[in-house]
A and B are shown apart, each in its own frame.
Chain A
Amino acid sequence: MSEILRVEEVTKTFDRFVAVQGVSLSVEEGTIAAVIGPNGAGKTTLFNLITGILHPNRGRILFQGEEITYLPPHVICQRGIGRTFQIANVFPRLSVFTNVQVAVLAHQRRSLHFTHPAERLAIREAEVALAAVGLLEKAGQVAGTLSHGDQRLLEIAIALGTEPRLLLLDEPTAGMSPEETVATMKLIRRLAQERGLTILFCEHDMEVVFATAYTIMVMHHGRILAQGPPEVVRAHPEVQQAYLGASDA
């Protein structure tokens, strides 16, 4: 298995607050990896750095062996990294279908095309992505009218529309009911399996992570405490003290 994502000694500060401090991690192709840590540990900042929404003060980020550290977000997406956001982040006034279609058109480099009406383009691709998350029947609805859980699923469908090699999910189950959480985790496993997709997600719900991820990275105060398979991470003394112990108590 080859390495698809490599983060080397990345640091990001806001004014004097160090959000991410010398973080290094590596994700193998075809796996499901997770970053865990309490709120404020720097998980979202790390995702923003990988996807180019923020640029680091120090360090390098490599995707498929090529450096992507200072590329703008749209170029990083075109290279093959898709993502979702922690708060549902869809196009509220557009239909569910159009939400995904915009992503497919961008992926096909057709978003600057004028010649054909959009409604006849990228239909099959958008329907496949919607079907993958089970939203095809709601394709005609206005995205802003979907339930919270469905908006989260739509987010995943939008990301799938760009046919990423690596999919970053920022707390995919935040605000979901226990049943929705189980279903979403099942979806994530299925996507990785069926599409050969590499998935990196972050969570603060421990159970969810240990049941799904092959590799776990524990983040705390902007640093990676431990990295490895679930059983290794679980046994790690520093992790137990800083995080697991706290949440068990």
Chain B
Amino acid sequence: MVKVRRPATSETLAGRTWPIGFLLILIPALLPAILPIFYTYLLALIFVMGLLAMSLNLVLGYGGIYQFHHAVFYGVGAYAVALSITRAGWPAPVAFLLAPLASGLTGLFIGWFCVRLTRLYFGMLQIALGSLLWVIVLRWYSITGGDNGIHDIPIPSFLRQILPAYYFILAVVVISLLVLYHIVRSPFGVTLQAIRDNAQRCQVVGVNVRLHQLVAITLAATFAGVAGALYVVLERSVFPSMLFWVLSLEVLVMCLLGGWYTFLGPMVGAAIVVTLRTTAGRYTENWTMILGILLILLVFFMPEGVLGFLGKLIARVALPQGRQQEFKRAESAQAEEKVIPGRSSHE
């Protein structure tokens, strides 16, 4: 029996991440000991946004689905916590469990309509349905507080300090990422990647493409809801802008920036965007201009994102000579697919 060798792609190289993953748990766990409070807060925010971006990447990078309005599920999760604590008066644990559930159901609902459409139309309908939810949140003053949002949400007292909040967020994010990693490697995850590569071929090997896409959207929305709940832990406030399409775009940019064919890429992208916003944002309101320039450079020089680029760099240095050739061929074969994932024909 011939031993099956794993292919040398940037995807699998960057996917061989468990030692890195271990460090990514250990270092953040120790960092608050030496960091000022503000940077601890910033790290927590990066984890929240990173989880949001990684949940998007389940459908975007792995599923090849144009999820243009992912922020809606994040906002729904945050508002689910805020409303069930302040309006319904439910205990916080219930509220926190309700958030992913509410987001997942919203994902199922919106996804159910959207999977009937392909590609760009999928994205357009999603923006339309998501904006509908945003308007409801923005205008329904008596319940959601309208454009004021909801502030000083009485979360459990032990979470009101930054350090416990930080560790709570870190723990939930780590668990979520482990679950996401498990999903990506499961038969479902592999099938999802096959759908991304070639939806029609998937159909004729007996895969119900729409059902898989719907499950992926629901899962992604669920994890976005977890991120939304974590935001409430960190900020104790919610705003309608959490459901606004601008945030969706920002999350999309995080995936591109970090590398959407890699597992941890979106987390790297979130770190870049959040850091940029807080540091450059201190000097100029036009910090998005810097982000814009970064994006232009990215499209030309690192179309697979930071982590995708690093993966290739490592491959070039570390691979034995024999596999270099193989890797180069893999690169050229994928070159045409760099910019748009799942470019191949669908229906």
A77 at the interface (CB under 8 A from B): yes
Query: Chain B contacts of A90 at CB under 8 A?
Result: 197-198, 201
Q: Is the interface of B mostly helix, strand, loop or mixed?
A: helix
- Stretch from A8-16, A157-165, A188-196 that touches the partner: A157-165
B4 touches A139 (CB 8 A): yes
Centre residue among B206, B334, B337 by max chain A CB count within 10 A: B206
Give the interface residue-count category, chain B: 35 or more
Interface residues of A in 75-114 (CB under 8 A from B): 75-78, 82-83, 85, 89-95, 97-99, 101-103, 105-107, 110-114
Verify A114–B212 contact, CB threshold 8 A: no
Q: How far is the CB of B218 from chain A (nearest CB, A)?
A: 12
A154 to chain B, nearest CB (A): 11
B202 / chain A contacts, CB cutoff of 8 Å? 102, 106
Chain B residues whose CB sits within 8 angstroms of the CB of A121 once the complex forms: 187
Alpha-carbon gap, A99 to B205, bound state (A): 11
Given contacts A111-B207, A159-B205, contact A140 B187 (CB under 8 A): no
Q: Interface-forming stretch among A28-36, A141-149, A173-181, A197-205? A: A141-149
Residues of chain B within 8 A of A102, CB atoms compared: 190-191, 194, 202, 205, 207
- Residues on B with beta carbons closer than 8 Å to the beta carbon of A110: 187
Is A136 in the interface zone, CB < 8 Å from B? Answer: yes
Query: Bound complex: CA of A85 vs CA of B203, how far in Å?
Result: 12
Give 24 CB contacts A-B under 8 Å: A53-B203, A72-B208, A75-B206, A77-B205, A82-B204, A89-B201, A90-B197, A91-B197, A91-B198, A91-B201, A92-B198, A93-B261, A95-B6, A105-B190, A107-B206, A111-B207, A112-B188, A118-B185, A119-B185, A127-B4, A141-B326, A141-B330, A145-B330, A162-B206
A241 at the interface (CB under 8 A from B): no
Query: Which residues in B have their C-beta under 8 angstroms from that of A119?
Result: 185
Chain B residues lying within 8 Å of A158, measured Cβ to Cβ, are 201, 205
18 additional contacts (CB under 8 A) given A83-B204, A99-B194, A123-B4: A85-B201, A89-B201, A90-B201, A91-B194, A92-B197, A93-B9, A93-B197, A93-B337, A101-B190, A106-B191, A111-B207, A111-B212, A113-B186, A117-B185, A118-B186, A118-B187, A118-B189, A139-B4
Which residues of the partner chain B approach A2 to less than 8 Å between Cβ atoms?
A: none
The 6 closest A-B pairs by CB, nearest first: A140-B5, A144-B333, A77-B206, A91-B197, A103-B205, A73-B203
**Given A93-B193, A93-B197, A107-B206, does the pair A113, B344 have CB atoms closer than 8 Å?**
no
B329 at the binding interface (Cβ < 8 Å): yes
Q: Which of B5, B11, B190, B330 has the most CB of A within 10 A?
A: B190
Number of interface residues of A (CB under 8 A): 53
Complex contact A114–B205 (CB within 8 A): no
Q: Are A116 and B198 neighbours in the complex by a CB distance under 8 Å?
A: no
Q: For the complex, give the distance between the alpha carbons of A145 and B7 in Å.
A: 10
The one of B200, B204, B333 in contact with A142, judged by C-beta atoms closer than 8 angstroms, is B333
B194 CB contacts on chain A under 8 angstroms: 91, 94, 98-99, 102
Question: Is the Cβ of B1 less than 8 Å from the Cβ of A127?
Answer: yes
Q: From B347, which residue of chain A is reached at the shortest CB distance?
A: A53
- A51, A118, A137 — most chain B CB neighbours (10 Å): A118
Question: B145-171 CB contact bits vs A (8 Å, 1 = yes)?
Answer: 000000000000000000000000000
